[in-house]
Amino acid sequence: MGPLLVLAGLLLLFYAALSSQSKIRFSYSPVLNFCTFFYSSFLKPHSKDDSLVGQQGALESFYKVQANVYDETRKRLLCGREDMLALAAAQLNFQAQQGLFRHSKPVWVDIGGGTGYNIEAMHAFLDVPEFFSAVFLVDLSPSLCAVAKRRFQRLGWDVKVVCEDARTFRLEDHLEKLDDAKPAARELPEYASAGTNWVYKADLITMSYSLSMIPDYYTVVDSIVRLLAPTGLIGVVDFYVQSIVETAGRNYVGGSLNRHVNWLGRVFWRAWFDCDRVNLEGARRDYLEYRFGTKKIMDQRNYLLGGIPYYVFLGCHCQGVYARSQDLLETVDASCTESPQIIPAKGHEFLLPLLPQPAIALETRSKAYESAIINLSSNLPLPSTFYQSHQARIYYDEQLEKHTQFNGDYLYSFAWEDPRADQRLLQISDNDTILCLTSGGDNLLEYLVTASPRRIHAVDLNPNQNHLLELKVAAFQALPYCDVWKMFGEGQHPDFRRLLLDKLSPHMSSQAFQFWAKHVGRFTSSTSFYDYGGSGHAIRLVRSLAWLSGLRSETQKLCTSKTRNEQREIWGRIRPMILSRALHWALVGTEWFLWKAAGVPAAQRQLIIRDAMDLPCQETSRHEKVSDATGEAMWDYIVNTLDPVAQNTLLSEENYHYLLTLTGRYTRRCHPLYLGPKAHRKLSQPHAFSGLRVHTDEINEIIQRFKPATLTIAIIMDSMDWFDPNSTAACTQVRALNRALKPKGRVLLRSAGLKPWYVAVFDTLGFSTKRVAARLPGMCVDRVNMYASTWIMTKVDDL
C-alpha cells in the first residue's frame, strides 16, 4: 500500500506541475518545479514537435514543458555562468578604456540564450542598456524565447529576441531594422578579405551551456568566427569531460590546471548527460580552442551535484593579436628578450618571409618566436600568452617536467633579500636593463619604485613564482591602494574572488589566472596569505612555537618595541625558544625543513658546512661532500643570522622581513617600500610595467638568447649556491652572462659561503670579483642578514 501512495503522490505532483490552471501550482512551487524538471529531463519520452522540424522540433519537445521553470531549476545545475559574464565584462571594460571598440558602444549576441538569464545577470557587472548599443538573444526554442520576451518586457530593456538557427543568424538582417543609421566603419584590419562587411559584427558573443546541445557544432563555431568582430570576444561556459592526455602537446589551450577528469568520471557523466541529448565529448571544446585564441580558461567542478566538470572559456579571433597593428607588434617584438621579432607581423600567409634563412641561420631566436613558427606553420592558434592584454608574460611549456616538479606551488611568498642594500650597491638608474630572479617579486617592484630601470627581465624556473608576480603587478594596474594593502599588507581580502574576476583578470595570463582561481582561499581564509607556499611552513612554525611555549605575548611585544634596547631585552626572553637546540636537532636543522621551508638546497648546505669547518675551496677538495652529523654548522649559521638582526635592527620600524615572519602581516609603519601609498601612485600609472618581461625558465636558457652586450645588471641572488660543483653549470652560466652583459656590466650575487667555489670561475671568465659584504659573527650586513657574503662581479673582458 505504501508504494502505491508514494506513486499516487508523485503523479499528483506531476499533474500539478504540468497543469497551467492548477491552483496547487503556486502552493509548493519549489517541489513542483523540481518535479517538472525531473519529468521533462528523465521521464518524458523524447519526441519531435509535429509543427517544427529537425533540431528545433527536438529542442521544443524538451523545453516546452519546463520553459516556465527553467531558471528556477538551473540555478544549482548550471554553475559558472556568472563567472563567464564577469570575465567578459572585465575584458570589455578594459577594451573600452583602451578605445578598442569599432563603435562608441559594443554589440552583444547571446547564442542559445534561452530565457535571457545571462543578459539579466550581466547587469550585475555592466549597465546592459547603457553599455551596449544592441543586444541580441538567439535561440531555436520558441517556448524559451517566449519566456525571454516576457523577461525583457518586465525589465523594460530593448533586447531583440531572435528565434533562429545560430548558423544562419546575421547581424545585417536585424541591425537595419533596429537602426537605419549604419555605424561608421573604422579602418579595416589588414587581414580582412575584400568585400567583407566588418561593420555588422558582434563585439561580444556568449554561449551558456548551449554548445553541448548543438549536434552540428562545427558549423555553429565556424559561423561565430564570421560573426565576431576582429577585436571581439567570445565567452563560453559548458560541461565537459576530458583526459589530460587529450591536451598533451597543445601549447595554445591556456593552461591545463584542474582539466583532467578521471576515467570513471568521463564514463559516468557522458552516459548521464546523454539521456538529455547533452553531448560531453571533448571534440566540442577542442574545436572551440582551435578556432579561437585563448584569453582565459577556468576548469571547475560543481561539487554540490556530485562534482560535474564544467569549463569557462574567454577567447578572441586567432588573428586578433594583429588587429592593433604596428603598436602592438612593436610591444610583442620586445616581449621576450632584447632579441629580434618573435612573431610574424600579420597573418599566417606572412609567415614565410620570417622563417629562418641561411643568411641568419646563426641568429638566436626566442622560444616564443620558435613556438609561433611551429604553430603557424601547423595552422594552429598561437600560444595563449600572445592573446593577453599585456605582453609581459613570455610563453613557456607548462607541461615540461622542469616546471611541474614544484607540485603546483611557489616556495617564496615574499623575497628574502634586502632591496635597499641592492640599490645602495648598484645605484640602479633609468638607463639600466636588469635581469633578476623573480622569487616573491618584492625586490623588482622596489627597483621599479626607486629607480625605474628601462627594462627588467624577471626569471624563475618555478611558474608559480611568476604567477605570484603577475598577481602583484595586476593588483597595481587594476586596484585602489586600499585593496592592494589588504591583499599584500594584511595578507587577507574577503572579496578576493570578485576582484580576481572583475578587476584583475584582464591584466593576467591565462595560466596565472587559473592558478589564483584555484587558490582563492589563500586570501579569503582566516589565515594570512603569507602562511602558504614553502615559506609559509616556517612562518606557521614560528607562531606555533610561540603559542605552545606561552611566549605569544612576548613575541607581540617584540614586534611592537619602540626602541632597540627594549627589543634586545625581549629577545633575551624569546631566544631560548626560537634558538632551542632540541628544536634545531629535531626539525630546523634537518635537510627536509631547510629545503621545504627555508629553501636551502643540499649544495648550499655544503657551503655552510665547509665554511664552519674552515675547509679550503681548492679544486681538489670542493667537490667532496662533508658531513655535519651534529648539525653544529647549521646551528652556528642560524645564530649568526638572527642574533645580530635582533640586536641591531628594529622590527617594528624597519625590518619588515622578520616582522612578517613573526606576525604573518606587515604594518602601516613597517612594510616594503612598494606597499606604500606613494609607490602605489607610481606603479598604478598606465605604463609603469611596460618594461617588465616575465620569463619562466632557467637563467642560462634566458641569457643565452639575449642579444650580446644587452644587459647592464644581473641580480642572481643565491642561485649559484644551488649548483653542483661537479657539473659545468656554473661555467656555462658565467659564459652566458659575459656574452649578455655590456662592458663593465655587473652581476650581484649573494652566497651562504664567505668565499664560494664559483668565484674562481668568474675570475677566469672575464670578470673582476669583489666581495662587498661579509657577515662575520656579531655583524649585521643588511636587514635580512641571511647570507654570509655579497659579491659584485664586473665584466672586464669580452669572451
Summarize pLDDT for 166-177 with one digit per residue, the tens: 888 999 888 765
Do 637 and 690 fall into the same domain? Answer: no
- 501 falls within a domain: yes
Residue 484's alpha-carbon distances to 72, 146, 480, 605, 677, in angstroms, are 38, 46, 7, 36, 10
SS3 content of the chain, % helix, strand, coil (to 5): 50, 15, 40
Range in 87-96, 644-653, 658-667, 720-729 with the lowest mean pLDDT: 720-729
Do 144 and 255 fall into the same domain? Answer: yes
Q: Measure the CA–CA gap between 312 and 81, rounded to whole angstroms.
A: 8
Residue indicated by cell numbers 587559473: 514
Do 602 and 625 fall into the same domain? Answer: yes
Helices (H), 378-434: 401-404, 419-426
pLDDT of residue 536: 85
* 356 against 85, higher pLDDT: 85
Residue 507, pLDDT > 50, answer yes
Average pLDDT value for residue range 524-549: 84
Do 252 and 130 fall into the same domain? Answer: yes
Q: Measure the CA–CA gap between 544 and 552, rounded to whole angstroms.
A: 9
Do 304 and 214 fall into the same domain? Answer: yes
Residue 289, pLDDT > 80, answer yes
Question: Which three three-digit cell numbers place residue 532?
Answer: 602558504
Do 173 and 85 fall into the same domain? Answer: yes
- 400 falls within a domain: no
Report the CATH number that the domain containing residue 80 is assigned in CATH.
3.40.50.150
Q: Measure the CA–CA gap between 732 and 737, rounded to whole angstroms.
A: 9
Residue 587, pLDDT > 60, answer no
Do 553 and 658 fall into the same domain? Answer: yes
Which of 287, 317, 347 is the last residue in one of the domains? 317
pLDDT of residue 22: 40
For 192-247, the pLDDT digits (tens) are 443 445 578 899 999 999 998 888 899 999 999 999 998 899 999 999 999 988 88
pLDDT of residue 58: 52
* 347 against 386, higher pLDDT: 386
Q: Using alpha carbons, select from 583, 602, 580 the residue that is nearest to residue 591.
A: 602
- 525 falls within a domain: no
Amino acid at 386: F
Average pLDDT value for residue range 465-486: 97
- 565 falls within a domain: yes
Q: What is the percentage of the chain residues whose pLDDT exceeds 70?
A: 76
Q: Measure the CA–CA gap between 444 and 673, rounded to whole angstroms.
A: 11
Q: What is the chain's length?
A: 799
Do 383 and 497 fall into the same domain? Answer: no
Question: Which three three-digit cell numbers place residue 18?
Answer: 504540468
Do 57 and 135 fall into the same domain? Answer: no
Specify the pTM: 0.86
Range in 28-32, 443-447, 449-453 with the lowest mean pLDDT: 28-32
Q: How confident is the model at residue 319 (pLDDT cuts 50, 70, 90)?
A: low
Q: Measure the CA–CA gap between 163 and 141, rounded to whole angstroms.
A: 7
Residue 773, pLDDT > 50, answer yes
Helices (H), 649-799: 656-663, 677-683, 699-703, 729-740, 759-764
Residue 313, pLDDT > 60, answer yes
Which of 360, 387, 414 is the last residue in one of the domains? 387
pLDDT of residue 382: 87
* 192 against 416, higher pLDDT: 416
Residue indicated by cell numbers 565537459: 240
pLDDT of residue 360: 35
Residue 268, pLDDT > 60, answer yes
Q: Helix, strand or coil for residue 109?
A: strand
User: What is the chain's Cα-based Rg?
Assistant: 30
CA 582 from centroid of its chain's CA atoms: 41
Question: Which three three-digit cell numbers place residue 450?
Answer: 626607486
Q: Using alpha carbons, select from 115, 141, 139, 164 the residue that is nearest to residue 61.
A: 141
Do 383 and 311 fall into the same domain? Answer: no
Residue 256, pLDDT > 60, answer yes
Which residues form the domain of 113?
75-184+196-317
Residue 795's alpha-carbon distances to 332, 550, 669, 762, in angstroms, are 30, 53, 40, 9
pLDDT of residue 409: 93
* 371 against 415, higher pLDDT: 415
pLDDT of residue 265: 92
Do 709 and 617 fall into the same domain? Answer: no
Question: What does residue 90 show for φ and ψ, rounded to 5 degrees?
Answer: -65, -45
- 512 falls within a domain: yes
Q: State the distance between the two ends of the chain, measured CA to CA, in whole angstroms.
A: 96
- 191 falls within a domain: no
**E strand map for 146-187:** 159-163
- Furthest CA-CA distance within the chain: 98
Do 264 and 116 fall into the same domain? Answer: yes
- 634 falls within a domain: yes
Residue 620, pLDDT > 90, answer no
pLDDT, the chain, mean = 81
Average pLDDT value for residue range 554-582: 86
Which of 317, 343, 361 is the last residue in one of the domains? 317
Q: How confident is the model at residue 13 (pLDDT cuts 50, 70, 90)?
A: very low
Q: Measure the CA–CA gap between 83 and 96, rounded to whole angstroms.
A: 20
Total tally of structural domains belonging to the chain:
5
Range in 32-41, 133-142, 378-387, 723-732 with the lowest mean pLDDT: 32-41
- 374 falls within a domain: yes
Number of other CB atoms surrounding residue 530 within 10 Å: 24
Average pLDDT value for residue range 777-791: 91
